[in-house]
Amino acid sequence: MTTSKFQKKSMKSPARLPGDPTAKQIVERIVRVDHAGEYGAVRIYEGQLAVLSKSSKRILIEHMRDQEKIHLKTFSEQISKRKVRPTALLPIWHAAGYALGLTTAFLGDKAAMACTVAVEEAIDEHYASQIKALEPFEDEVTLRETCIKFRQEELEHRDVGLEHGAEKTPGFAFMKGAIKTGSKIAIWLSTRI
Ligand SMILES: [Fe+2]
Ligand SMILES: [Fe+2]
């Protein structure tokens, strides 16, 4: 059976109800929020490195920071290419990301790792929902593959955190919950503002 013209067109974007965002709006929101998230991630690791420059975990943190820089570069390019307005909250994430990294690192390298676990868990769920949202858009296969690749690297960061003592931080469950909630609020805001 051959695919009709109508079927081909309908596969490009999913059925839309009145008031639903358009495909363009969905993709713009994804690019905006991912750019913001990766920006914040770089700042968190930079904050941690300012404190942990002599720690045995420095190389690990530098490696994660460098991967976040590549993620940020990719979404910065998407912002320019698609002429998407970046979130107006970047100056806040600049300060808040750094402060979060700095504060957790002051509590010790295990607390820094706990911060990574919390943030990456939130980002994993976030990327997973985007990967699902992008599934119907045939024109956005490359963007979806980028999200899949970056999600995998964020999961590696979470595993690094777990392998390097995150769960041994006093009050780990509370800390993880608080940071994860904060990350989700930041994601929600950056999608919209
Ligand atoms: Fe990232
Ligand atoms: Fe990450």
CATH number at residue 51: 1.20.1260
Ligand 2 center to residue 70 CA distance, Å? 11
Residue 111 lies in a domain: yes
Give the amino acid at 157: H
pLDDT at residue number 81: 94
The pLDDT assigned to 2 comes to 44
**Ligand 2 centroid – CA 117 distance (Å):** 9
Please tell me the total count of domains within the chain: 1
Type of residue at 96: A
Say how many C-beta atoms besides its own lie within 10 A of residue 51's C-beta. Answer: 18
Q: Alpha-carbon distance 87 to 193, whole Å?
A: 6
Looking at the domain assignment, is residue 96 inside a domain? yes
Q: What separation in Å is there between the alpha carbon of 101 and the centre of ligand 2?
A: 13
Question: Is 8 part of any domain?
Answer: no
DSSP one-letter code for 152: H
Distance of alpha carbon 182 from alpha carbon 119, whole angstroms: 9
Q: What angle do CA 122, 88, 139 make, to 5 degrees?
A: 65
pLDDT recorded at residue 4: 45
Span from the CA of 135 to the centroid of ligand 2 (angstroms):
23
Instruction: Assign 160 to helix, strand or coil.
Output: helix
pLDDT in tens, the chain (193 residues): 444 444 444 445 556 666 667 778 889 999 999 999 999 999 999 999 999 988 888 999 999 999 999 999 999 999 999 999 998 888 888 999 999 999 999 999 999 999 999 999 989 999 999 999 999 888 899 999 999 999 999 999 999 999 998 888 888 888 888 888 888 888 888 887 8
The Å distance, Cα 39 to ligand 1 centre, comes to 8
CA–centroid distance, residue 159 to ligand 2 (Å): 11
- 15 assigned to some structural domain: no
Q: Which domain holds residue 70?
A: 23-192
CA of 42 to the centre of ligand 2 (A): 8
Smallest CA-to-CA distance from 12 within 21, 24, 2, 1 is with 24
Could you tell me the distance, in angstroms and rounded to a whole number, from the CA of residue 37 to the centre of ligand 2? Answer: 9
- How far is ligand 1, taken at its centre, from the CA of residue 168, in Å? 24
User: Is 13 a member of any domain?
Assistant: no
Q: Is residue 143 part of a domain?
A: yes
Give domain status of residue 16, yes or no. no
So what's the pLDDT on residue 86? 92
User: Does residue 83 come out as left (phi exceeding 0), alpha (psi in the -120 to 50 range) or beta?
Assistant: left
The pLDDT score that the predictor gives to residue 182 is: 84
| Ligand 2 centroid from CA 88, angstroms | 22
CA of 87 to the centre of ligand 1 (A): 17
Predicted local confidence at residue 16, as pLDDT: 67
The C-alpha atoms of residue 54 and residue 43 are separated, in whole angstroms, by 19
Distance CA 104, CA 108 (A): 7
147 within some domain: yes
Q: State residue 12's pLDDT score.
A: 55
